[in-house]
Amino acid sequence: MKRVIILKCKRVMLFLGMGCLAICAQGQDEEAVAASLNLKLQPKDTLTVCAATLATNEGKPISEVEVRFYIKRSFGLLPIGEAVSTDENGEASVPFPLDIPKDFGGKVTVIAKIEDDEKVGSLDAEVVTTSLGINPKHTDEWNKRSLSASREKVPWMLMFASYSIIAGIWATIIYVAYQLFAIKKLRTKKS
């Protein structure tokens, strides 16, 4: 029995050791270059371009790295177009969409990301602007009549329908009561 337990322990240790070796070997193969990602919004003709520049810390441009552009929204990131590879100058750019609404603070946050690249690893940069985007339309729905509103803001047709039903029920009750009194009156006359 002891021998079986010892063999199982050796197998587990061997398995864990192989996993550790694989992790160590992975870490040694991945050598990311220290780099920086800069993001600028540049006006060109009638549109604005989101331009990201990727360079080493010494200023040497890095090419052939995929950059993704996003706009920060309330519950996540909205992608702008497809992933763009950097050119020989280390630049990647996409046009900024004209129909993006601003947040309620009047800002638009543009983010450029490089995710798990072999050359540089993961990098991101962001720019906050107030000059781009469409101002959100704030409509005052509080004073409108709707089904979910309070009593004084109920739609007229719903109010008319409910009052008609209530009036019909009361009319039926009054008619039945009148008929009962008429029957009672006829009964007393016959006897």
* 156-180 pLDDT, tens digit each: 898 899 999 999 999 999 999 999 9
Task: Using a pLDDT cut of 90, give the percent of the chain over it.
Answer: 36
> Is pLDDT above 50 for 14?
no
Mean pLDDT over 134-144 rounds to 76
pLDDT at 31: 66
Maximum Cα interatomic distance, the chain, rounded to a whole number of Å: 119
Query: DSSP states of the chain as a string?
Result: -HHHHHHHHHHHHHHHHHHHHHHHHHHHH--PPPEEEEEEEEEETTEEEEEEEEEETTS-B--S-EEEEEEEETTEEEE-SS-EE--TTSEEEEEPPTTPBP-TTS-EEEEEEEEEETTTEEEEEEEEESSSSBPPP----TTS--TTS-GGG--HHHHHHHHHHHHHHHHHHHHHHHHHHHHHHHHHHH-
The 10s digit of each residue's pLDDT in 61-119 is 999 999 999 999 888 999 998 999 999 999 999 999 888 888 888 889 999 999 988 88
Q: What is the pTM of this model?
A: 0.58
CATH for 35-129 is: 2.60.40.10
Report CA 187 to chain centroid distance, whole Å.
76
Residues in the chain: 191
Mean pLDDT over 38-59 rounds to 89
